[in-house]
Structure 1
């Protein structure tokens, strides 16, 4: 396969991913995020007014209205440009961070560069996060191309996604991760913006987080199980020419709540944790923060709202999450995010 054929396959795959995520049911079927196992203690005398609650925070040198990142899902094909334009405009309007989907396609082909650069155009006031896979990072002899990807969208950080499960199941996947950790460590030292290492829905464990910390990583997005199953997405894409695979992979991974707690327990407090994977409302956001996360990420619910119902409904969804988060803060007597993070959660039985 030549470079252009390979890039055409990448473009087709990106279109498949978005279509399946918005049109099909690709959530985990037997595993939840684990957030339903935790409850806040209600404070009947919060000693503050709702309008005194301040859910804002700093992220990558910019101020967010709430600690929320719309994680990268798309880019690199023709129809991605209007989607990313709307997502970026939404993020800028609400005052939250915005990520792009994998920029792997840009390594060889700039045909759809505009589907990525539109994000900074529409979101000049909020953090923008570039995105490239760990398998791609491991293959690079130097990081000049990575610098170019970051500079092209004027990104405030680079997300490096570790997705071995997805690469294993993807018909045209690249399950080659030898040397990825060492390459990530070199990239952290080489790049002028922070490197955020993330999974894509199978979670990051405590031991992996420690290895990342030892390599110099100071930002970890656990991207746990319970939301979108990218294994499920790839299983839907597998044709008859592919070997059959066990359906168990659909539900493979570490629940998001468990991953947050495990990673927070083993890494230094200076390591910032992002909780993503199955976040669907502001109460879950609040639980993630109280369990040890510093920020929260979400992608598919916002993309689906935008795709199915339009910009205004997607905006209402995100504004509703922000309102829910402030409601939890009010009901726990937490005026600021730092106070919410000190709240105790009560463990209840895990749902089956």
Structure 2
């Protein structure tokens, strides 16, 4: 497929590729498959007592789950965000919006973002802007205006140098991003969440962010959607002819990101979000046991909605909750706080499912 220079068309292409084509990592995995639950034969709790609720951005969530930043900015995104918002409202989940870069230039597609707050008045909603935009003439008051327009409780700044490098119309301009984040963290009226888009945040990068005043980090590791793969497919039908095709699998496994970043808790107080290939409630339980506070899911929900609508979304989340609660029960964890103290057993290197 040949890429379009129009932001709205690009967003539509992203959704199409993520729902219709295989853009997962090819050889890189989340690393979560390296661990098993430490089965507790004497849990001393009843299954009905297992309660996976948590708090996030001043809200109580029924599940430690963020429906991660996906889309917005084109006409078809309105229905998607409305459906996801209704799901989040019913289940009291947090929701992230897609990149709002287009709203800096025009409010023509505002409804595709604003619909989330209209449909979900009592959940935490996260606005979203790309880090490379911060190196331009985007001011704090511009971002505050966007936050107010969509009724957001926080602003996600996504780090995506690999995607910008491979995107045909990308802007791989990242000099000065850290200073811009530090400045925004001190002046914006809502918290900043710094996230990757699926290639991972290492402990070293996370510490730079924490020193800059960031208190929410979403590691968004490798193993799920490869945005390098998405952009390589957008650039040319023959991906392997691209001299940068090997970057499809570039990234840090999600489990490794969680472990590295969680180790910084001895020096910093922050919330750790794990996303990137979280395919089930079982994956979520492992991520939390490794050190995350809550998890994010994006592409699986988009695919479920596109294939089965809102009823399918409801079934997916109900199953996800059951899986999480089951994992907690067999690990002896009644609450999410208990789950964070659960020990995982490393699998044998020769393990083969």
Shift of 1:286: 0.4
Q: Helix, strand or coil: the match of 1:42?
A: coil
- The match for 1:245 is 243
Shift of 1:141: 5.4
Measure the CA separation in 1 of the matches of 2:346 and 2:48. Answer: 30
Shift of 1:241: 12
Checking the alignment, whether the CA contact within 8 Å between 1:70 and 1:99 is kept in structure 2 is yes
Tell me: CA distance 1:257–1:241, structure 2 relative to 1, closer, same or farther (3 Å).
Answer: closer
Structure 2 length-normalised TM: 0.95
Q: Do structure 1's residue 264 and structure 2's residue 262 form an aligned pair?
A: yes
Shift of 1:168: 0.1
- The match for 2:121 is 124
Shift of 1:37: 0.4
- The match for 1:4 is none
Q: Once superposed, what is the RMSD of the aligned Cα atoms?
A: 1.7
Measure the CA separation in 2 of the matches of 1:317 and 1:241. Answer: 34
Shift of 1:265: 1.0
Measure the CA separation in 1 of the matches of 2:211 and 2:38. Answer: 36
Structure 1 length-normalised TM: 0.95
Measure the CA separation in 2 of the matches of 1:22 and 1:260. Answer: 27
Measure the CA separation in 1 of the matches of 2:238 and 2:64. Answer: 44
Q: What are the within-5 Å matches in structure 2 for residues 1-352 of structure 1?
A: 9-140=6-137, 142-239=139-236, 244-267=242-265, 268=267, 270-349=269-348
Measure the CA separation in 1 of the matches of 2:40 and 2:162. Answer: 42
Checking the alignment, whether the CA contact within 8 Å between 2:5 and 2:169 is kept in structure 1 is no
Q: Helix, strand or coil: the match of 2:66?
A: strand
Measure the CA separation in 2 of the matches of 1:255 and 1:99. Answer: 22
Q: Helix, strand or coil: the match of 2:181?
A: helix
Measure the CA separation in 1 of the matches of 2:49 and 2:32. Answer: 27
Q: Helix, strand or coil: the match of 1:48?
A: coil
Number of aligned pairs?
Answer: 346
Checking the alignment, whether the CA contact within 8 Å between 2:154 and 2:191 is kept in structure 1 is yes
Shift of 1:280: 0.7
Shift of 1:142: 2.4
Measure the CA separation in 2 of the matches of 1:349 and 1:104. Answer: 45
How big is each residue's C-alpha offset from its partner over 1:294-333, in whole Å with a ceiling of 9 and x where there is no partner? 0100000001000111111111111211111111111111
